[in-house]
Structure 1
């Protein structure tokens, strides 16, 4: 883990935040209001490079709203800093260009092209060519197309998507593979921070184990991840640190072990035996 943290109550998080090393993403005082409803209220956290930060909380706690606020999909107060740059006013597409990517709860892919061609399509910033180059340098572009397809295949296998699925359409592959494809497409190329909203939704058994392996592999490769999840076994096994939200506010922040021992978290979310 990249920085030891202690589970804290709201208002005591600054000392915890100071212990995160090599910060790649920082949010300060995020707040979102829908009329009189305060959906998010003064939430702050940091994400270290090569770290998995889990965000948990009861339904309605503000988890997805927090994601929307970080990625500038809703009007919000507060500040967002990415790799030392204040990106508070940068639109969502500009954040993606800077390496901050997000995958949504629903699977997202192109139904009418193969799994491999889906992956090729999101690598165009690296492997794309112009029409003029195709006319003037056809042999070079043919070679480049082959290199792009090999890079796409490697990216799919990195997420555990076996070659036997590469030439199939996404609707023809198992649900777990569709889920991994959606994550791979969100990553694309050049991602440094990936935010996942309930990646384990609908998964179980071997698919859940494959997700754990994939998340750990991405972290080991230096990617930083923020993961919203309701599956406690998953988040406790992969997260380096966890933020607990309740009623739009930060209830606690710490390592998985510290969160599991925090009385307020046990009472508010994880549950305690009577």
Structure 2
């Protein structure tokens, strides 16, 4: 039996006397979208921070069956575990294309010897990275009209897609997406839904924190509902909609 792409066991996080997470467990397989929902302060973002070792936590984390609990955050991305944050984070002085190219070159790595002694090789590698960057941007519906513009000057919906594209880059196996639809309108949300389904079809595991319930219910295969730092319910979207505890704690009239 194939191990889940990402599995967390009994994650607990405390900030002083505040228990942000209490024994939270879930898993996400390749080709699956897992939704994390819950009211503000339920522990959703903290759950992703704990999974990527960005906060002190108890519990265990597994990547494709391997225990990565002790690995520092910066060693996770090269292993395919990537995250896009609530707030857009770009190199503001670089163009959209330069941001994407930089992510690809950074993931490939280089050496001082190669840069100095074989500059033509490095130039060819950069050209290849730029071409690959164009392909990824267009795949994420970021058209060429935006490629030479600084990220802060492109539409907000395109910025959100760029955040996901930069997290994806090359070699992503698991994408942790923290409210990618924040601030988006109907057309942009539909475009995001299409993208998420395409990434799932590609075999990626996607963990999606989102307050847009229409989006979550439309794309998620399973949903984990958090409330006050604990798992309240886990199930398919139809099961979440009909669970009285979830409706009472969070959904209310948003079904």
In which range does the TM-score fall when normalised by the shorter chain?
over 0.9
| TM-superposition CA deviations, 1:152-193 (whole Å, max 9, x none) | 111111211111111111122111111111111112221111
1:45 and 2:21 aligned: no
Alignment CA distance shift 1:136-1:254 (3 Å): same
Separation of aligned partners in 2, 1:60 and 1:184: 27
Residue 175 of structure 1 corresponds to 156
The structural deviation recorded for 1:124 is 1.3
| Partners of 2:5 and 2:65 within 8 A in 1 | yes
Separation of aligned partners in 2, 1:228 and 1:127: 29
The structural deviation recorded for 1:143 is 2.9
1:109 and 2:85 aligned: no
- Partner residue of 2:134 out of 149, 153, 167: 153
Matches within 5 A, 1:1-274: 22-125=3-106, 129-271=110-252
The structural deviation recorded for 1:144 is 2.6
The structural deviation recorded for 1:137 is 3.7
What is the TM-score of this pair, normalised by structure 1? 0.88
Separation of aligned partners in 2, 1:195 and 1:116: 23
Separation of aligned partners in 2, 1:243 and 1:21: 21
Separation of aligned partners in 2, 1:24 and 1:113: 33
Separation of aligned partners in 2, 1:141 and 1:88: 36
**SS in structure 2 opposite 1:122?**
helix
RMSD: 1.8
Residue 9 of structure 1 corresponds to none
Alignment CA distance shift 1:125-1:188 (3 Å): same
Separation of aligned partners in 2, 1:253 and 1:130: 47
Deviates more, 1:121-130 or 1:189-198: 121-130
| TM-superposition CA deviations, 1:210-255 (whole Å, max 9, x none) | 1111111111111111011001001000111000001111010001
Q: Gapped runs of 5+ residues in structure 2?
A: none
The structural deviation recorded for 1:103 is 1.0
Alignment CA distance shift 1:122-1:45 (3 Å): same
| Partners of 1:26 and 1:45 within 8 A in 2 | yes
Alignment CA distance shift 1:139-1:64 (3 Å): closer
Separation of aligned partners in 1, 2:253 and 2:147: 46
Separation of aligned partners in 2, 1:87 and 1:130: 27
Count of residue pairs brought into register by the alignment = 254
Q: Gapped runs of 5+ residues in structure 1?
A: 1-19
| Partners of 1:25 and 1:83 within 8 A in 2 | yes
